[in-house]
Amino acid sequence: MKQLFHLLPTGTTIVVATSCYLLFPDALTRVNAQSKANNQQPVILLAQADTEAKSTQKSPANSLSEATDAKNLITYNLEFNRSPVVGNRMRLRGVYSEGRLAFTRPRNWKLDKGQVKALIRFQHSPALYASRSNLTVLLNGTSVGSVPLNRKQSQIGQVLLNIPSNLVQDYNELTIVAQQSNSLECSNPNSPDLWTEILPDSKLIFNFQQQPIPLNFSRYPYPVFDELGLDTNQIVYLQPNQVSQTWLTPAARLQASLGRTADFRPMQTSLVSDVSDVKPNQRLVIIGTPSEQPALASWKNLPLKVVSSQILDRDNNPIPEDTGVLLITRTEKSNAPVLIATGNSSQAVAKAVQFLTQPDVRKMGTGQVILVDKLQDTATPGTRQWPRYLPEKNTFQLSEIKTQVNGQPFTDVTVRGAAAPAIDIDFRALPDDRFLRGSSMNLVYSYGPQMNPRTSAIEVLLDGVFIGGARLDSESGANRKNLKVNLPENLVKPNSRLQVFFRMNSREPFDQQNCLQPPDQQLTGTVHSDTSFDLRREVSADLPDLNLLKFGYPLAAPQDLSNTAIVLPQNPTATDVLTLLALSERLGRISQADTVKLDVYTPDSLPETVRKNNNLVGIGTREKFPLPDVFQSGGLNLSQAFSRLSAQATVQTPQDAQGMIKQIISPWNKERVLLALTAQSDTGLERVRQVFNQDPWFFQLKKDTVLISSDQKDPNPYDADAYQLDFFQSAPKVNRIEKTTLLSKVSRLIQENWLLLPLGIVGLSVLLYGISQLYIKRLANSEKK
């Protein structure tokens, strides 16, 4: 079975690896990595190459140059255990098996000849025949080495292979191929003796020189964020003199924009109060006017001058107050890149940041300085226009679904061979979709000739559940056949995935005598992009529900976050601000739009119209929480003096270090929600922040209240077991947001209360019987008269 994973950044500059993300086969389009691998050279060949190199005479000048370069080399070890696919091992089974690892090359790395190596450590079955079993390593389709599987009694073996530096590209794929045999004649592909394990301490070793980082907005978001980086991108915000609403909103919008850029890649955010505290591997962000950020006045290498808290142009005239200013430079001490969004007014600062949040507009930027004179506001998308989800209309084709990998429309996909992989289709329903009976898919497919019609078939699965299929019953193949598949209404969810499998077997049988597998590369199956869908659904969602928050609902409806407002205490602490940035980043990751219109307020600056019309998020500890109405709602709540209360009990918690996430229906609008990120102390609020920072915890959210705790003093944020999450459904009642017909409401009421249906039938029968008896009695009395 072919596997593929993506090695991603960590918080360490060198060697240590702490996080990674699975990259599915269809993600190769996005990363432009070829679905191939390199063969590695045996150790003996490397020794010969070294001998030849030693025998080669070099001039003294060349020797001195190489010695100087060697001193500047930095070593980086990329270990295989950074991938969840590897974990404790990567096991290769069968006669032929492949394991694939994808990795990137950071933009500022310079790799020269002989500076990339692969250390492969492995174990294999003692039943393998060394003369017929080997392990081959490939990089981007080019072979870099092979080694026989000849270790006795499953002893650990290892091989160190040189990788030509010219093979390493921005996006790379390392493939390890095991060809295994346990018989001199014919090996059974299903034999449990055919196995080889790649050990997790295998690694890629890079020796590189750091290249100067270009300071140019034409490559933005680089160098602020490097999409090719192997370490966690570390963003540092310089705190202003006073944290006000005019600073909080631009910071939150920029962080949400960076979250969209990061997507699945990890990012670490922190605050500093002094520029000298910034480290070389960090990226500094400065937001605010010169009066809010006094460090700008003392900066020596700024492209523009700052005099008397005003920014001057090249003619030493003050830049207009409605013009945003964007600068990119370096810190004087650590030489770290710095992004500055400033201006001579708070409106100018907001305009400068807004320029960076609009992907289409910021492509115009170049050089170290950008003056944003005019910036047109982007129209707000519809509430149900979610680019990564199903189209809003009920009848559409597969070509109208954009792939989650690269955001491009789905096109015809062809698979080949007896072990063809599945064709994956992201079938993500909108979070407020409720599917009804009668939804269907008309699958349009083709397949080639020379198949065995008795054993070949096409299968359709929804989240791993079989929902339809048909035999491939034509020996001469078929073109553009149709298969209608019903979509079960209870299976379609916001993270659903359709899979189409072509189970193709050749007409030629297996040659047991000569141990020859029948040819299978002529077997092809295609799913066409004009495959159509006819859905039966309605808008209906029950709130509060933190499970829907995992997909962004309702905070990310619409996707530009314009219906969401965040409220912080009047004088927010550093923990409050970091929690705001973590939430903004998460909202950016789970939304997709042409801009960011998220607003941040303090209690004094919160308009009444926003309070009534928007979804609200309150951040802060219990004593300074800006929206105390949340603690007056029913269910589990924090109370004064480190205590908790609910309908069942009231308890004192003098050592309360837990964080709490609670969602309720907004007291000011029954169609909006109020989300509370709170705790009794900063320690608890920090744990709330980590839930939004880390995928393993965030995607566990459910019900309407979560308590976050840890038994560790300083929990490791990359440890999935470091925090414990307890979930509660504490809301006294659920509010249903729906746009349905009266008939649909009655039908759903009957479905949800079907136990009352017999009682209703009896009651209706008694009522009709009474009415009929009354009518008969009156009719009889009238006849007597």
pLDDT tens readout for residues 20-54: 333 333 333 333 333 333 333 332 222 222 323 33
Mean pLDDT for the stretch of residues 504-530: 82
Assign 453 to helix, strand or coil: coil
Tell me the fold of 4-210: Jelly Rolls (2.60.120)
**What is the enclosing helix (H) or strand (E) of 744?**
helix 742-752
**pTM score of the predicted model:** 0.85
Torsion of CA 136, 140, 141, 144, to 10 degrees: -40
Q: What percent of the chain has pLDDT over 70?
A: 85
Q: Which of 409, 440, 471, 626 is nearest to 534 (CA)?
A: 440
| Residue 232 clears pLDDT 80, i.e. is over it | yes
- pLDDT at position 587 is 97
Torsion sign, CA atoms 422, 423, 424, 425 = negative
- pLDDT at position 575 is 96
Domain ranges of the chain: 4-210, 217-372, 395-540, 545-571+590-733, 753-784
Q: Do domains 4-210 and 395-540 have the same CATH topology?
A: yes
Name the one residue in this structure whose structure tokens are 């060198």.
14
Reading phi first (left if > 0) and then psi (alpha if -120 to 50, else beta), residue 518 is in: beta
User: Taking the domain 395-540, which CATH number applies?
Assistant: 2.60.120.260
User: Taking the domain 217-372, which CATH number applies?
Assistant: 3.30.379.10
- pLDDT at position 715 is 76
Q: Note the pLDDT tens digit of each residue in 439-485.
A: 999 999 999 998 999 999 999 999 999 999 999 999 899 999 999 99
CA angle 518/519/524 to nearest 5° reads: 125
